[in-house]
Structure 1
Amino acid sequence: MKILAAMSGGVDSAVAAARAVEAGHEVVGVHLALSRMPGTLRTGSRGCCTIEDSMDAQRAANIIGIPYYVWDFSDRFRAEVVDDFIAEYSAGRTPNPCMRCNEKIKFAALLDKAIALGFDAVCTGHYATLVTDEAGHPELHRASAWAKDQSYVLGVLTAEQLARCYFPLGETPSKGLVRAEAERRGLGVAHKPDSHDICFIPDGDTRGWLAEKVGEKVGNILDNEGAVLGQHRGAHSYTVGQRKGLSLGRPAPDGRPRFVLEVRPTSNTVVVGPREALAIGTIAGGRWSWAGQPLAHPERDFECEVQIRAHADPVPARARIARIDPEAEVYREGATEEFVVEPDEPLHGVAPGQTAVLYVGTRVLGQFTIDRTVSAVSVEAQA
């Protein structure tokens, strides 16, 4: 096959490209420039897509012996990922920019361009596994290394995209083995730290970055009965489940810590309360997709597992596709159906804007962006 290897400048993508060559494919390396003004250097594990990363990727491509190019996707990245991140926070939601980047950039814009140029597939260093079912349809499954599994962030991929993907690291038992292989191959990135945090906020100060983008506006912090407990400098700086940084000045009557329960951007207020108030009995979202073939009758309850963060444990649940209440105000225009998931045990710290990925066994079934939640307390009261 003719394969385009997406090379981030890290060890995983470099080894993935090398394995693709070793498997006999015709491979071309490409690094995505996602910022017009990237930092020239990384700080440990902070940041990615910097000039240093581009140079690391080029050195790896030279050692592997493949052509290498840099493609400027900065305009689309800003529109599809950065601007979306700002808009979601401004609307009181907690977005996952890595999901949007995979959906809109790495497996949409990049794949579309690769196909237009005659490539058969895009190769990345993600830890996930592709399986073909009896009918020849692609399925996305967890990697063999559970601790490194990245199938969650790939849950946005469609059947058409999966058919054009290549994940050479999916069966590798550990990241240590990948680093050891990189060292044997003479790749200088063998011991380069993994990237963490949001790539376009390399210093990790999300609150400060958002304040620069959308400004600060003083508002009230309320308890779950509506009493004013203090003030904040911008509701966009808070997310559901947050405990630190509330600066209330006085403890709760029972002395226990408070957590953010709700962010209300319209009134610029933040609601806080006890941890048990974070327990969620139902989640639902209208922006959803199948990762591969859809279920034959998704309107019927089916058993699955739901995962709401990249490194969270999956929770057994029941799910279905249902019609959206036309009076509901939380949905984006045009949405007519929603995924509704009821976990067997309450979820905690769930915020609108997060991505829920559904699994059946090791297979990724699909995903949706959480638009609304129902308290587990409310569900118990109705039972």
Structure 2
Amino acid sequence: MTPPPKPAERILLEEMFAAAVAAAKPGAAQIAAHLPPLPKGRTVVVGAGKGAAAMAAALEEVLRDRAPDRGITGVVVTRYAHGAPTRAIRVIEAGHPNPDTASQQAAARILGLAEGLAEDDLLICLISGGGSALMALPAPGLTLQDKQTVNRALLRSGATIDEINCVRKHLSAIKGGRLAAAAWPAPVLTLMVSDVPGDDPAVIASGPTVGDPTTREQALAILDRYGIDVPAAVRAHLLSPASESPKPGDPRLSTNTGIMLSTPQDALDAAAAVARRRGYTPVILGDALEGEARDVAKAHAAIARQVGEQEQPAPAPCVILSGGETTVTLKGDGRGGRNAEFLLALAVALNGAPGIWALAADTDGIDGVEDNAGAILTPDTLPRAAALGLSASAYLDNNDSYGFFSALNDLLLTGPTRTNVNDFRAIVVTSQDSSG
């Protein structure tokens, strides 16, 4: 039986997300524009993140064209199933969002490569979102289990990515500028894909090549703020001056250059261009929105209603776009990432308002730890759920957004995209009256 054709609004949502992801993938030409002349000595490539393997493959393409007779070596680590074919640069797959033994082994190899460099060599670092978990090397005196315990607690706590990475940097032997410090006096070129609000290089993958402005005291305060009971070795480490990270202005970081290849704003701009071509007015709320997913959803629902009822900030047909990284404080035992939770909370807040469609998804293709990128909301989401005996509010209370949208066949399944500029949200308002 032939399935019914997709509604135009759903097609628009999917096209905008595809454009956003495409804009987040740095290609060979973009990388080539930022590469310096190769050094007299060795060129070593390291990297970490969900986009690291794809970036390594693109870099190899550039170097084969530019200097086919010059060999390169290196190691990058990415999430399981996020690999890409490379020749000289080894790709290691490891655990995310919780680090595993492969994460530790990859980080040790990367640090070892950096420590062996000289002034005439060049270290190229390929950094993208997810690198914090994927490149996990415990500081002296700590174990991988210590880091795993703290990481799991932070992910469940509702802490922001800046707060989580502050703690991670002070428990690491490689993050917070330590990788670049180990490579000194070799010059370091860091090519980045941003997945953090504000595109702060010190936060992306916990800034392994960037001076860290945060302190161990701040890391301790974050753990206390969220009531996280850490192993005794972790607290003892953070109380010691030895846990402090290299700071901006450290002479060992003086040979570093950082280049931002892709950002969340690039993804939103690409989606906005698709909307304009389809006759919709795009309204970009921002690329760095943070907060509890359900609270951000309530604000988006109010804006969508304002479009329909008051034609503000733009008249329908309109597309409301936003990026950033929300958080979820887990209280139930359901399944689902922050994007599906945002969408379920949006459905509850809209309460069946007509003429409103929405998509929320992570640009890496994985929402949290599930197999979906996110989900899609339609004007009849709540009636269809009710017909199946599903209560949107009950599913939201149980943090089971995955189960809710799976039952409706409205999960967005893309597989790994091999890039990451964080969350993407699009709300299509087609009705002039969404008062519902």
Q: Same fold (TM over 0.5)?
A: no
**What TM-score do the two structures reach when normalised by structure 2?**
0.25
**What TM-score do the two structures reach when normalised by structure 1?**
0.27
